[in-house]
Structure 1
Amino acid sequence: MNLSEVANPKINLTLRVTGRRDDGYHDLESLVVFAEGGDQLSAEAADDLSLEITGPFADDLKKEDPSQNLVLRAAKALQAAGNTSKGAHLTLQKNLPIASGIGGGSADAAAALKLLNQLWGLKIGDEELADIGLALGADIPACLYGQPLLMRGIGDQLTPLLLNAPLHIILVNPRKAISTPEVFKALDWPENPNPGHPPFEGVEMTWQTLMEGTNDLQEPAIALAPVIHQVLEKLRVRPGCRIARMSGSGATCFGLFEDPKSLEEAVDFLKSQHPTWWVFPTAVQPT
């Protein structure tokens, strides 16, 4: 049996830092959606655990420490939780840039947990899968859910949200990997923990909510990688772009467009003017 799953990119439409914990982690409040397309993970039964990496960003991922690969760590954690020695050959087609603020590694790990839970017949429930994922990375429970949500705490408090209209999105990364710990280190804290946007209320995501939001990590990320500012400016001036903002800790930025036509025109322009940038048109469907 060969199973496969798309690991959709996670986009932080807003991100507010609400506190710092004694363990050094920060509490967040973030409106999160998952876009169409992304990495592809497949799994087939095998005697041992193994991971093959392909795709346009495979070489970047292969430079990382294999022991820290979230797909294999998720697989081993699931083996332990399910008390099984079953193996699998995993193939990851890496289509998303690494260390880019769109949860690629976390989405891959979430896909591994779901696929292997099915492949191995473990029948582990959603809550336990989320607990296994949270021990590996704060974004994994959200990626397991995979629908619009409000994420609070360190990623452990999730509230489903209503999205009443499709979002037409361009993701743009200037091929710049950024360290999340370095971005948080550059965050102006505690003198200026929150730049003033109010806490989110309700269960419906509206244009007004999105336009009033910000990303508290955007400015410290720009300080580390000024090219992010250039990407945002290029997006903001495109006809039909209603919001341009950075996702997560960067360096991927997104543009929200009014309609598919204006999005397509922006994609053509960005690809022609900046051929080295990663430009990915996508959408989020209403719930």
Structure 2
Amino acid sequence: MTGEAAAETGWAKINLALHVRRRRADGYHDIETIFAFADFGDRLSVRAADDVTLTIRGPFGDGLPADESNLVMRAARALAGAHGVRAGAALTLDKRLPVASGIGGGSADAAAALRLLNCFWGIDTDEAALCGIAASLGADVPACVGSRTQRGDGVGEQLRTLADDDVRDKAVLLVNPGVPLATGRVFAAWDGIDRGALASGPSLAAAHEGRNDLEAPAISLCPVIGTVIAALAARPGATLARMSGSGATCFALFDTDTDAEAARAAIAAAYPDWWTAAGRLR
């Protein structure tokens, strides 16, 4: 254990495309997705302590449990258990991403905890081992460990790193209308129709050819998502506008930072209750 204060970011996850292929016997769904990550997110810091504790603050921290049910705590306990760590860690989560919003906030925070404590406790295991622990915490957590452009199959845990020359540094705008949407409800509203496989090849081209099969059921539950997508698609310079994950956060890609920031400012002015964040893909 270093004992020195340190921090990690839970990078915002974006599903550039998400194809739902079938419902499995175990109740989960087989998916095919392209994961990408924005260059902003929640912030997790740590300092030395006698026990593992979690404090939550930030604009989206109110009401979130900081007990053993929190994915950050579960990640910390799982890592400590796997490596026989007896040291403590006082963790502080600055919650900057909306909750239950399709951009992997909880999963990204759990992955950040694994990366952070792997170094802080001096474990220094490799990414594959961290992903093994991450898989026990949730379907999106393994992708969030590396937080880079990847294809996900199975329930999203079967990962393959993709060439990202066409994706990295792409300007992106995220918009959330302020309505939490539970993943289970969205999957339950999916019509069960297999609309075909996700294309292979360059990440961005595959994303453009693809779709998000959860978009229609999410809009049926939360119609404002359709308004968000339309507002994004209408902005000058937008090259792709779509919902991420199971919603309700939507995204648009732009060719320039200037266009993305102009879109953010315009949408924030028109819809002041919506959350907006502009940046680039990692």
TM-score band w.r.t. shorter chain: over 0.9
Change (3 A) 1:95 1:160: same
Counterparts of 1:284 and 1:65 in 2: how far apart (Å)?
Answer: 29
Q: Distance in 2 between matches of 1:231 and 1:66?
A: 34
| SS of the residue 1:38 aligns to | strand
- Structure 1: 5+ residue runs without aligned partners? none
How many angstroms does 1:65 deviate by?
Answer: 7.5
AA aligned opposite 2:253: L
Q: Secondary structure in 1 aligned to 2:229?
A: helix
**Aligned residue in 2 for 1:118:** 119
Q: Amino acid of the residue matched to residue 121 of structure 1?
A: G
Question: Aligned runs of 1:1-287 on 2, under 5 Å?
Answer: 1-60=4-63, 62=64, 64=65, 66-165=67-166, 166-189=169-192, 192=193, 194-196=194-196, 198-202=197-201, 204-206=202-204, 208-285=205-282
Cα distance in 2 between the residues matched to 1:78 and 1:65:
18
Question: CA shift at 1:284, angstroms?
Answer: 1.1
Contiguous gaps of at least 5 residues in structure 2: none
- CA change 1:128–1:267 in 2 (3 A) is same
CA offsets per residue over residues 238-287 of structure 1, 9 Å max, x none? 111111100000000001112122112111110110011001101114xx
Task: Tell me if the contact between 1:232 and 1:245 (Cα under 8 Å) persists in the aligned partners.
Answer: yes
Amino acid at match of 1:176: V
Question: 1-side partners of 2:133 and 2:54: how far apart?
Answer: 20
Would you identify which runs of 4 or more consecutive aligned residues in structure 1 move more than 4 Å? none
Answer with 154-163 or 243-252: which moved more: 154-163
Q: How many residues align?
A: 277
CA deviations on 1:85-133 (whole Å, 9 max, x unpaired) are: 2110001000000100000111100010111111111233322211111
Amino acid at match of 2:206: T
d(CA) in 2 for partners of 1:13, 1:105: 19
SS in 1 for 2:91: strand
Q: Is the 8 A contact 1:82 1:124 kept in 2?
A: no
Q: Tell me if the contact between 2:153 and 2:159 (Cα under 8 Å) persists in the aligned partners.
A: yes
Partners of 1:183 and 1:168 lie apart in 2 by: 28
Find the aligned partners of 1:21 and 1:66 in 2 and give their Cα distance: 32
Q: Which moved more, 1:78-87 or 1:89-98?
A: 78-87
C-alpha distance in 1, partners of 2:74/2:126? 19
The percentage of aligned residue pairs carrying the same residue is: 46
The superposition leaves residues 189-244 of structure 1 with CA deviations (integer Å, 9 ceiling, x where unpaired) of 2xx1x234x43223x323x3222110000011111111101101111111111111
2:37, 2:281 within 8 Å by CA — same for their partners in 1? yes
User: Counterpart amino acid of 1:172?
Assistant: V
Q: Which amino acid aligns with 2:200?
A: E
CA distance in 2 between partners of 1:209 and 1:124 (Å): 33
- Give SS of 1:67's match: coil
| RMSD between superposed Cα atoms in Å | 1.3
